[in-house]
Amino acid sequence: MSNPSCPIPQKEEEIPTPPIRIQRRARGILALFFVIAGLYTIKNFLPALLWGGVFAISLWPLYHKVERKFGTSTWLPLIFTSLLALIFLIPVTFIGYKIIDEMHSALQWIENVRHTGLPVPSWVDELPFGSGQIHNWWQNNLSQSEKIQDFLHSLDLGHSVQVTRQVGSQLAHRSILFVFSLLTLFFLLKDGEVIIKKCLKASHRLFGSQGESLAAQVVSSVHGTLSGLVLVGLGEGAVMGVAYVVADAPQPLIFGFVTAICAMIPFLGWVAVTLVSLLIAAKGSMIAAIVVWVVGAIVLFLADHFVRPVLIGGSTKMPFLWVLLGILGGAEIWGLLGLFLGPAIMASLHLFWSLWTEGATRENVGRKLHR
């Protein structure tokens, strides 16, 4: 006999399970939310992570060969990371020291000009036309110490101090990003095999059989950019550095390095070579200036029209116009990092275009990439 004072247990109502399609969409939306939130969290460090990825892709073939020969260890990625850091730090330290030394000399020169004025240079009288007018203007404006002092007093020193602080802040920020780039490179090299396997598995699940071809195209574009822009630019800078030394250019090592950096971007090397040629001409060596400019024109022409198209476009089977647009557009949007991102994006677009217009299969694309 039941006890009326005891409550009768109620049967729990079962919650209906939503369809699998709705669950997949919900998981996709949740995953997308966390991906966006994660990217927003590390947005200030994304350039460092991308640079670390570019370094890792560039060094991976050499690192993989060394790893197969000597075996896996923690010291190997540390050595590669340290060597890369030295490759950047040694030239930057040398140039920084030279710039500080030149700034000290420049301050002394400004102090002397402030008290004695700036004398008329000898090349003014040797000009084919207008030498008299330029000589008189120089004598009336730049050779008198009083007008030089008025000009220096008119400069906004407060603004100069503010600019100096901004430059110092930017240098500190770039240094932190460089350290994180090296840290990213170390872990990418250390766990490279595992990361590659997981990335291939993820690309296969997301994009199917053509995901591996897309990854191979991106990697090929980075390798092509490294050899076609960086290595060729360094070679151009080395050749022009020798020419600057022979022509007795001011600070030939620094300007050789500047030419190498400028030559990594197509057509920008002409600006550096022309500037150095003008500086040589200002010293009175007109023939040496012409010879340096002609040598630079030959070197830059051969590199931009014959060497780079083969190295960059050949590795990705991409027309040079696409490569050029990727380099210039990437450099305009992302700076130096765009030199690698731009060609990688254009290479991916070119692959998609080929697949869509030619109906290429994964096997055909793979054979094209590995020829």
Predicted TM-score (pTM) of this structure: 0.68
C-alpha dihedral sign at 326, 327, 328, 331? positive
Residue among 77, 52, 64 nearest 182 (CA): 52
Residue among 221, 198, 186 nearest 49 (CA): 186
Greatest pairwise CA separation for the chain in angstroms: 129
In the numeric block, which tokens belong to residue 4? 């009326």
In the numeric block, which tokens belong to residue 196? 């590659």
In whole angstroms, what is the distance from residue 306 CA to residue 274 CA?
A: 21
pLDDT attached to residue 311: 77
pLDDT attached to residue 230: 83
In whole angstroms, what is the distance from residue 159 CA to residue 167 CA?
A: 12
In whole angstroms, what is the distance from residue 157 CA to residue 146 CA?
A: 19
pLDDT attached to residue 152: 59
C-alpha dihedral sign at 117, 120, 121, 124? positive
The four Cα atoms 341, 342, 347, 352 give a dihedral, to 10 degrees, of 100
Q: Are 213 and 365 in contact (CB under 8 A)?
A: yes
Provide CB contacts within 8 A for 209, sequence distance 6+: 362
In whole angstroms, what is the distance from residue 35 CA to residue 32 CA?
A: 5
Low-confidence ranges of the chain (pLDDT < 70): 1-18, 102, 105-107, 109-110, 113, 118, 120-129, 141-165, 167, 313-316, 359-371
In whole angstroms, what is the distance from residue 57 CA to residue 185 CA?
A: 9
In whole angstroms, what is the distance from residue 222 CA to residue 145 CA?
A: 55
pLDDT tens-digit readout, 39-69: 889 888 888 898 899 889 888 989 989 988 8
In whole angstroms, what is the distance from residue 306 CA to residue 266 CA?
A: 12
Provide CB contacts within 8 A for 150, sequence distance 6+: none
Burial bucket for residue 301 (CB in 10 Å: 0-12, 13-18, 19+) = exposed
Residue among 118, 115, 137 nearest 127 (CA): 137
In whole angstroms, what is the distance from residue 162 CA to residue 138 CA?
A: 32
pLDDT attached to residue 10: 54
In the numeric block, which tokens belong to residue 195? 């990361």
In the numeric block, which tokens belong to residue 45? 């460090």
Burial bucket for residue 215 (CB in 10 Å: 0-12, 13-18, 19+) = middle
Q: Are 209 and 93 in contact (CB under 8 A)?
A: no
Residue among 146, 147, 125 nearest 134 (CA): 125
In whole angstroms, what is the distance from residue 261 CA to residue 236 CA?
A: 10
In the numeric block, which tokens belong to residue 23? 């669950």
Burial bucket for residue 118 (CB in 10 Å: 0-12, 13-18, 19+) = middle
* DSSP 8-state assignment for residue 335: G
